[in-house]
Structure 1
Amino acid sequence: MTSPLPEPIRLAVDCMGGDHGPSVTLPACRAFLDKHPGAELILVGKPEELTAAAAWPRCRIVAASEVVTMDDPVEVALRRKRDSSMRVTIQQLKADRDGNPAQAHACVSAGNTGALMAVARYVLKTLDGIDRPAIATVMPNQRGRFTTVLDLGANVDCTAEHLLQFAVMGSALVSAVEGVEEPSVGLLNIGEEAIKGSETIKQAAELLRTAGAAGRLNFFGNVEGNDIYKGTTDIVVCDGFVGNVMLKTSEGLATMIGAFIKEEFSRNLLTKAAAVLAMPVLKAFKHRVDHRRFNGAALLGLRGLVFKSHGSADAFAFEMALARAYDAARNRLLDRVHDRIVATLQARAGDAGDNAANSVAQAA
């Protein structure tokens, strides 16, 4: 069992990112500090817009003169805005050129997703053995827990090897944050049968089964979209195209159902009276499906812990993203991902060696 990281846990926060900037990020940071006495924050942004936080305890401000907007192309964020709040925030996770250690254990931004991934990958680089970082987040399920899904849009086209890496990283995430030591992994497919799916999915299933048989993963098998909400497995792995469509469809469906319920209860005096009687149930339902509670997607596979908040997040949602980053850092998510990837690479190298030896023996 990996021991928790000693406090204080320091988070770097891009206070300028997202649709609302400091009007949301600062109240969220204040609420987060009140609830996490073992945390410290590095607030990054234009100092004149962060003056309200100047006297906060366990908090300091780092200046950044530029802001990556939600519609900035990746090239602008990466090449032109070198002093953006996003980039300076990510740089807090990296030791400087003089050898001074990283200033923060994790960082959070609500900025442009494509820009955040590109800048984070450029500044931090990927872990050895990881070809592409992946975006992972949690979805509520019928068991009253969460299903972690990845990738959610970082990689549109994925190989079978990439999907295996996502499974390994997702397992480390759930193990660290949810406390499940051997989380179950499902591969998203159009059916449970092994014969279904594209060639890439079939190859990925074979790699996952091999890893599962060797004890490196708890592979359940193929799962379908409804299994995400049933809670059939702790983790569901898919490529970024499918994952992003699934995420946006789910958010749209939840919003539509909420609007339908409100519309039906507002039809006339009788339905309004029924709404009053049903208010406790409606509030409980709203709480269970409130997407703000699940805000904070991890960018896995980097040499640093980067968390992405929804750009439209309010203060409560952004606070939840901070809490997820805090839990990940405290439970040494980065170390867990590294250790699982190393173990998987070593085991696969051993498998390749055994196969080569068998081939030589057969040829002889």
Structure 2
Amino acid sequence: MSLPRIAVDAMGGDEGVRVMVEGAALARRRHDRFKFLLVGDEERIKQALANHPNLRAATEILHAPDVVSGDEKPTQALRRAKTTSMGLAIDAVKRGDAGAAVSAGNTGALMAMAKLSLRTMPGIDRPALAALLPTMGEHDLVMLDLGANTECDARNLVQFAIMGAAYSRIVTGLPAPRVRLLNIGTEETKGTEELQAAAQQLKEANASLAMSFDGYTEADKLSRGDVDVVVTDGFSGNIALKAVEGAARFVADLLKRSFASSLRSKVGFLISRPATELLKHHLDPNNHNGAVFLGLNGIVVKSHGGASALGVANAVAVTARLLEENLTERIAADLASVGAETIRSSSRRKTAAAQDETAA
């Protein structure tokens, strides 16, 4: 059974057409059900496809004369949405010509275009960017938001938790993922008013949702594997993500320097090479590539700009799995099971509390 075709922004990313086409070809070799709509410079795409006959047989090309640059402001990119490869890939999802879109281009522009074209789902105020992080546990960690929303209220955080849990159930297979809010401590009294209000609402809704909410977690515990979904605002999430990525590079560089420091160290490297290769594989961002914009009326996946062909293939595989497992429908069902009145903003809670106090 074939899946709806996936629109790929073939011009996005640091290396553009070559890597995006190679990644799609690798994904196609792994899963012959995949079909593609490659969007971008038609001649360049045809040249790249010449080396991949298996992909060419499952691909259509949509010519796009323009490309969104990496430093382009979202407002500028929006004005050119109808002529850029990124904009036309998203528009293909809106028109039903593709089931999902993948791009390695400008994140801000991709978010702006996707939100304007596809709109947010009923019951979702803001979409969130979610990604998978490696852990010491059996499963990767879903973390959101990672930069789409710098400021969030309690209502947003609760919606993010619902969406993140639905995503986690698909990628991990867990029936009830463990969900926590990122905070500066695990005590109930820690954190902002928004965090405390979100925690209270999630506790109240816990029984209605296919997840297990268990309070707060701290940034130094993200890699332990004792939580499946971590929810935060985009400002804190982006900082935490880059700190994790920086720590991983630090460890890798430190090991490389240590093993090259002496002859004895080089011999030690040869002995321990299987373990270091396993560590390298675990920390390689290409093996966890594919961040998802959750909460839209359609699936849009962001590949890392510097991803290799393997990374692009993994992003495509994530996209296909979300299509196959009906991510959008799952989120809608979870929102319906909770009910709009259960998800409240902290300002509404504060107003109600003030009214009760005045009445008393």
For the criterion TM > 0.5, the same-fold answer is yes
The alpha carbon displacement at 1:9 in A equals 3.5
AA in 1 matched with 2:241: L
1:285 aligns with: 279
2:308 aligns with: 314
Deviation track 1:113-144 (CA, whole Å, cap 9, x = no partner) reads: 00000000011001011110000011111113
AA in 1 matched with 2:198: A
Q: Is 1:49 the counterpart of 2:44 in the alignment?
A: yes
Deviation track 1:255-304 (CA, whole Å, cap 9, x = no partner) reads: 11111100010012221121111111111111111121111001000000
Deviates more, 1:321-330 or 1:79-88: 79-88
2:116 aligns with: 122
Q: How does 1:103-182 map to 2 (within 5 A)?
A: 103-182=97-176
Are 1:66 and 1:81, in contact at CA under 8 Å, matched by a contact in 2? no
Are 1:78 and 1:115, in contact at CA under 8 Å, matched by a contact in 2? yes
Q: Return the alpha-carbon distance in structure 1 between the equivalents of residues 300 and 147 of structure 2.
A: 15
Are 1:169 and 1:337, in contact at CA under 8 Å, matched by a contact in 2? yes
Are 1:216 and 1:344, in contact at CA under 8 Å, matched by a contact in 2? no
AA in 2 matched with 1:256: F
Deviation track 1:234-256 (CA, whole Å, cap 9, x = no partner) reads: 10100001100011111111111
Are 2:170 and 2:322, in contact at CA under 8 Å, matched by a contact in 1? yes
Q: Is 1:28 the counterpart of 2:19 in the alignment?
A: no
Q: How many residues align?
A: 344
The alpha carbon displacement at 1:81 in A equals 4.5
| 1:187 corresponds to which of 165, 178, 181 | 181
Q: Return the alpha-carbon distance in structure 2 between the equivalents of residues 216 and 309 of structure 1.
A: 28
AA in 2 matched with 1:93: V
Per the normalisation by structure 1, the TM-score is 0.90
The alpha carbon displacement at 1:217 in A equals 4.2
Q: Is 1:348 the counterpart of 2:326 in the alignment?
A: no
AA in 1 matched with 2:110: L
| 1:235 corresponds to which of 229, 250, 259 | 229
Are 1:176 and 1:332, in contact at CA under 8 Å, matched by a contact in 2? no
Gaps of at least 5 residues in structure 2 are none
The alpha carbon displacement at 1:7 in A equals 2.4
Classify the secondary structure of the residue corresponding to 2:5.
strand
Deviation track 1:4-62 (CA, whole Å, cap 9, x = no partner) reads: xx523411100001111012101111111110111111111110110132651111111
Q: Return the alpha-carbon distance in structure 1 between the equivalents of residues 207 and 21 of structure 2.
A: 48
Q: Return the alpha-carbon distance in structure 1 between the equivalents of residues 338 and 109 of structure 2.
A: 30
The alpha carbon displacement at 1:112 in A equals 0.5
Q: Return the alpha-carbon distance in structure 1 between the equivalents of residues 36 and 175 of structure 2.
A: 29
Classify the secondary structure of the residue corresponding to 1:173.
helix
Q: Return the alpha-carbon distance in structure 1 between the equivalents of residues 263 and 211 of structure 2.
A: 56
Q: Return the alpha-carbon distance in structure 1 between the equivalents of residues 338 and 210 of structure 2.
A: 7
Deviates more, 1:77-86 or 1:159-168: 77-86
Are 1:13 and 1:109, in contact at CA under 8 Å, matched by a contact in 2? yes
Are 1:140 and 1:229, in contact at CA under 8 Å, matched by a contact in 2? yes
Deviates more, 1:164-173 or 1:79-88: 79-88
1:7 aligns with: 2
The alpha carbon displacement at 1:345 in A equals 2.5
| 1:40 corresponds to which of 17, 35, 38 | 35
2:68 aligns with: 68
Classify the secondary structure of the residue corresponding to 1:39.
coil
Deviation track 1:83-120 (CA, whole Å, cap 9, x = no partner) reads: 1000100011113xxxxxx1211111001000000000
Q: Return the alpha-carbon distance in structure 1 between the equivalents of residues 43 and 207 of structure 2.
A: 57
Q: Return the alpha-carbon distance in structure 2 between the equivalents of residues 349 and 240 of structure 1.
A: 19
AA in 1 matched with 2:233: D
Q: Which runs of 4+ in 1 moved over 4 A?
A: 213-217
Per the normalisation by structure 2, the TM-score is 0.91
The alpha carbon displacement at 1:332 in A equals 0.8
Q: Return the alpha-carbon distance in structure 1 between the equivalents of residues 89 and 146 of structure 2.
A: 23
The alpha carbon displacement at 1:348 in A equals 2.4
| 1:300 corresponds to which of 289, 294, 297 | 294
Q: Return the alpha-carbon distance in structure 1 between the equivalents of residues 254 and 286 of structure 2.
A: 19
1:325 aligns with: 319
1:78 aligns with: 78
1:260 aligns with: 254
**Aligned-residue CA RMSD in angstroms?**
2.0
Q: Return the alpha-carbon distance in structure 1 between the equivalents of residues 286 and 251 of structure 2.
A: 16
The alpha carbon displacement at 1:196 in A equals 0.6
